[in-house]
C-alpha cells in the first residue's frame, strides 16, 4: 500500500516537485491494480469524482473515467463546450461550484499555464492534473515510465530520446523531471522552431541520427493547434527531417522501444507501419494508463 499522505499532497499537479519514492510508490500500486483479475474493485464507491476538461481530450478523459469506474467511484463528467463556461463562467468559479456540491476529488485539464497551481491552493479537495498548457502532464509521464519499467526493469542508465515538438509539450517536461530522478539519460531532438531553449540545461539537444541510438525513442505529436503560422513548413518536410520513417525505424536496435503519447499524426511524426510494428509500445501505453490512473485516484482520495 502507498503511504498515508495529507490532503494537500494527495493532489498531483506535476512530477517536478514530488520525490522519486513517491513516484515509485504510484508505479508499484499501478502494478498491483494491473494484476487484479476483477474488473471492478469498488473501494471508492462512496466518493464522487469530477472530470473537468476545459480542453478537449479523448484518451486521457476515457482513461481516467475507466480507472475511476473500476474503483467504483461516482463519476461526473464536465466538458467546457457543454457548460456555463460557454456563458463566460471562469475556470475558478466552475471548480469552486463543483467543490461546493461535494465532490471528493477533481481531475482537470486546461490550456492556460499557471492556473492549476493557484486553484490547488484555494480548493479543499485534491486536484489531479490531466494536462495544463505546456507545463506538465504527470499521469501521461507516469504511464510512460511504467511502460519503460515493465520493458527494461531498471530505469537507471536508460537512454531516452524525446523527439519533436518539445516547445509545446507538457509530456516532454513531465517525462524529463521524472526520468532524471531515476537516473535515466534524457536527450531532446527538435527543429529550432519547436525547441525549448530553457530546457537545454537539463537535457541536451542532439541530431536525429544521434537520437536513434537510444533505448527509448519517444515521438511527440506536432501540436498544430498551438503553433503560430509559419513554424511548420509542411508535413512532408517535417516527416523527412524529424519523422520516424520506416527507413529510420529499420536501423534501430532490436531492443529499442518506440513510444508516442497519442493522438498520432500518422505519416507525419511517425509512419503508419511503424505505429503498428512489434517495437511500438503506443497501444500498451494506453493500456498502462488505466492502472496508473487507478493508483493516482486511490492516492488522491484515500491517501
67 is an annotated ligand-binding site residue: no
SS3 state of residue 175: helix
Residue 286's pLDDT band (cuts 50, 70, 90): very high
Ligand-binding site membership of 59 (annotated): yes
Whether 199 contacts 171, CB under 8 Å: no
Least confident of 52-56, 77-81, 144-148, 199-203: 77-81
Q: Is 243 helix (H, G, I), strand (E, B) or coil?
A: coil
User: Which value, to the nearest 10 degrees, does the dihedral of the CA atoms of residues 202, 60, 133, 214 take?
Assistant: 20
Contact 115, 132 (CB under 8 A): yes
Tell me whether residue 221 is annotated as binding. yes
Residue 17: its pLDDT value, please?
94
Phi, psi of 295 (to 5 degrees): -65, -40
- State percent of the chain over pLDDT 90: 83
Contacts of 104 (CB under 8 A, 6+ apart): 47, 48, 49, 125, 301
227 is in an annotated binding site: no
Going by C-alpha positions, the residue among 282, 224, 281, 262 that lies closest to residue 59 is 262
Q: Is 262 annotated as a binding residue?
A: yes
- In this predicted structure, the answer to whether residue 4 has a pLDDT above a threshold of 60 is no
Could you give the CA distance from residue 16 to residue 181 in angstroms, rounded to a whole number?
9
**Residues 111-131: tens digit of each pLDDT:** 988 889 989 999 999 999 999
State how far the Cα of 135 lies from the Cα of 120, in Å rounded to an integer: 15
- Determine whether the annotation assigns residue 109 to a binding site: yes
Specify which residues 205 forms β-bridges with: 188
Whether the pLDDT of residue 28 is over 60: the answer is yes
Q: Can you list the domains of the chain with their CATH numbers?
A: 7-135+287-302 (3.40.50.1370), 138-285 (3.40.50.1370)
285 and 257 Cβ atoms separated by less than 8 Å: no
Q: Is 245 annotated as a binding residue?
A: no
> Average pLDDT of the chain?
93
Does pLDDT of 188 surpass 70? yes
Task: Tell me if 140 is assigned to a ligand binding site.
Answer: yes
Task: Give the SS3 label for residue 72.
Answer: coil
Amino acid at each position: 500500500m502507498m503511504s498515508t499522505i495529507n490532503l494537500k499532497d494527495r493532489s498531483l499537479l506535476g512530477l517536478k516537485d514530488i520525490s522519486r519514492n513517491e513516484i515509485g510508490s504510484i508505479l508499484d500500486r499501478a502494478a498491483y491494480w494491473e494484476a487484479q483479475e476483477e474488473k471492478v474493485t469498488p473501494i471508492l464507491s462512496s466518493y464522487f469524482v469530477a472530470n473537468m476538461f476545459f480542453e478537449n481530450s479523448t484518451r486521457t478523459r476515457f482513461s481516467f473515467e475507466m480507472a475511476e469506474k473500476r474503483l467504483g467511484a461516482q463519476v461526473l463528467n464536465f466538458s467546457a463546450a457543454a457548460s456555463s463556461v460557454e456563458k463566460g463562467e471562469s475556470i475558478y468559479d466552475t471548480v469552486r461550484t463543483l467543490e461546493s456540491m461535494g465532490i471528493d476529488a477533481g481531475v482537470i485539464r486546461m490550456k492556460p499555464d499557471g492556473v492549476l497551481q493557484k486553484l490547488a491552493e484555494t480548493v479543499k479537495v485534491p486536484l489531479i492534473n490531466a494536462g495544463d498548457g505546456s507545463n506538465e502532464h504527470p499521469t501521461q509521464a507516469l504511464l510512460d515510465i511504467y511502460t519503460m519499467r515493465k520493458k527494461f526493469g531498471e530505469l537507471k542508465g536508460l537512454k531516452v530520446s524525446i523527439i519533436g515538438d518539445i516547445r509545446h509539450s507538457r509530456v516532454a517536461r513531465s517525462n524529463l523531471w521524472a526520468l532524471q530522478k531515476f537516473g535515466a539519460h534524457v536527450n531532446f531532438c527538435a527543429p529550432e522552431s519547436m525547441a525549448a531553449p530553457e530546457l537545454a540545461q537539463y537535457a541536451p539537444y542532439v541530431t536525429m541520427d544521434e537520437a536513434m541510438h537510444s533505448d527509448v525513442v519517444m515521438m511527440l505529436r506536432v501540436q498544430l493547434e498551438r503553433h503560430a503560422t509559419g513554424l511548420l513548413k509542411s508535413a512532408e518536410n517535417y516527416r523527412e527531417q524529424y519523422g520516424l520513417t520506416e527507413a529510420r525505424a529499420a536501423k534501430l536496435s532490436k531492443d529499442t522501444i518506440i513510444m508516442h503519447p497519442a493522438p498520432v499524426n500518422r505519416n507525419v511524426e511517425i509512419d503508419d507501419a511503424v505505429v503498428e510494428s512489434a517495437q511500438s509500445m503506443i497501444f500498451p501505453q494506453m493500456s498502462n494508463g488505466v492502472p496508473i490512473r487507478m493508483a493516482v485516484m486511490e492516492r488522491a482520495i484515500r491517501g
